[in-house]
C-alpha cells in the first residue's frame, strides 16, 4: 500500500477544496492511502512515512504561503540526515490570485534541495476554484497514487 501525503495551507478555503479533490483522487486508486493534513500540523514523521507528496499552497504576493515554507524549514535539516526522505515523487497545486508562476518556481526550487522528483505538471487555479480545476486536482491525486503503487516513481 502506498501512502500519499497531501499537505496544504488555506485561509480562504480555495486551496483546501483543491486538497480535498487531490485526496479523493488518491483514495480512488486501489492500494493507495491518503494522509491529508494542513501544513501547520505536518511534521517530519509524515514526510518520512509517505511514499509521495502532493503540496498545495495559495499564492501570497507572488510567493508560497508562509506555513508551507515553515514546513520546509522545520523538516529540512532532519530530512537530510535520512536518505529515505530524498527522491520522493511530488505534485503541486496552487490557488493563485495572480498567475501562480513565482509561487510554483519557489516551491520547486526548495523541492530541488530536498531532491524530490516532480512527476506531473502543477495545477494552478487563477481566481475562483471551478469544477474544471477540481477535476484536474482529482487527476493529480490519481496520477501520483497510481505511479507510487506501480513503483514507477
Domains of the chain, each with CATH number or no CATH? 2-150 (3.40.50.360)
Terminal Cα-to-Cα distance of the chain (whole angstroms) = 14
- Cβ contact 75:82 at 8 Å: no
Rg (CA), the chain: 14
pLDDT digits (tens, 9 = 90+) for 51-71: 999 999 999 988 999 999 999
The structure's pTM equals: 0.95
What φ, ψ does residue 114 adopt, rounded to 5°?
A: -75, -10
Q: Give the other-Cβ count within 10 Å of 50's Cβ.
A: 24
Question: What does the alpha-carbon distance between residue 152 and residue 144 come to, in Å, rounded to a whole number?
Answer: 10
Task: Average the pLDDT over 3-12 and give the result.
Answer: 97
Least confident of 29-33, 97-101, 121-125: 97-101
Cell numbers of 153, please?
A: 516513481
Up-side HSE of residue 69: CA atoms within 13 Å toward CB?
A: 12
Q: What pLDDT shows up at residue 82?
A: 76
- Cβ contact 148:32 at 8 Å: yes
- Cβ contact 142:135 at 8 Å: no
Amino acid at each position: 500500500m502506498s501512502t500519499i501525503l497531501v499537505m496544504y495551507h488555506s485561509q480562504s478555503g480555495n486551496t483546501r477544496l483543491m486538497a480535498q479533490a487531490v485526496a479523493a483522487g488518491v483514495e480512488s486508486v486501489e492500494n493507495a492511502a491518503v494522509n491529508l493534513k494542513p501544513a501547520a500540523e505536518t511534521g517530519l514523521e509524515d514526510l518520512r512515512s509517505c511514499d509521495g507528496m502532493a503540496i498545495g499552497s495559495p499564492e501570497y504576493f507572488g510567493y508560497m504561503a508562509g506555513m508551507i515554507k515553515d514546513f520546509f524549514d522545520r523538516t529540512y535539516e532532519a530530512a537530510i540526515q535520512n536518505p529515505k526522505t530524498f527522491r520522493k515523487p511530488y505534485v503541486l497545486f496552487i490557488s493563485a490570485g495572480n498567475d501562480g508562476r513565482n509561487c510554483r518556481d519557489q516551491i520547486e526550487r526548495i523541492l530541488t534541495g530536498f531532491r524530490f522528483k516532480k512527476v506531473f505538471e502543477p495545477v494552478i487555479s487563477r481566481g475562483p476554484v471551478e469544477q474544471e480545476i477540481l477535476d484536474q486536482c482529482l487527476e493529480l491525486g490519481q496520477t501520483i497514487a497510481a505511479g507510487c503503487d506501480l513503483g514507477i516513481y
